[in-house]
Amino acid sequence: MNEHKDENFRTVRGYQMKSRKEGHLTPAQEDYLEMAYRLFCRQGYVRVGQLSELLHVKPSSASKMILKLSQLSYLDYDRYEIIMLTEKGKEMGAYLIFRHETAERFLHYIGCLNPLEEAELIEHYLSRETVCNLNDLLDFLKANDQLKDNLKSFKLNRKNPL
């Protein structure tokens, strides 16, 4: 066992601060960008009012976040409240959708009762490597469908500690 493992340990807040120092988006920024990307894919542009309504925030809060994402080069924003995604924004938006769908599929596979809600709660804390590994696992499980039956049987026959 690694004797120095405790030296690398951080609290959730500590990992969040480390992540921001490394230039990662905050969970709130990711939520805005993910929703902007969803809307952009549907209609080719996004409006502040749509974004605030779908995210259940005030238009002024949405405008502030849009300005931050624009300063980070993810969005282009004009005075007529039209939001366009930059190439960087489209790339990150596509990844955020992929990450969300991967987390939700995994949670659904293991029998989570509300995979959408739980995916929203955990997705921000998964690394790209973990998302890719989960996606590989899901592809493997899909290719070996009998494993799903094995999992169901296993869960039925073991005593759950909860």
Task: Tell me what pLDDT residue 79 has.
Answer: 66
* Residue in this structure with the two tokens 């988006």, named with its chain if needed: 25
d(CA 159, CA 156): 8
The boundaries of every CATH 1.10.60.10 domain in the chain are 92-157
State the CATH class of domain 12-85: mainly alpha
- HEC string for 80-141: CCEEEECHHHHHHHHHHHHHHHHHHHHHHHCCCCCHHHHHHHHHHHCCHHHHHHHHHHHHHH
CATH no. for 92-157:
1.10.60.10
Q: Considering just the CA atoms, what is the radius of gyration of the chain in Å? A: 19
CA distance 97 to 15: 22
pTM of the predicted model over 0.85: no
- Look at the alpha carbons of 22, 27, 33, 37 in this order and tell me if their dihedral is positive or negative: positive
Strand order in the sheet with 75-77: 46-47, 82-85, 75-77
Ranges for all domains in the chain classified under CATH 1.10.10.10: 12-85
pLDDT along the chain (162 residues), means of 10: 62 62 82 96 92 94 94 87 93 97 96 94 94 96 91 83 67
Quote the pLDDT of residue 16: 57
| Helix (H) / strand (E) containing 47 | strand 46-47
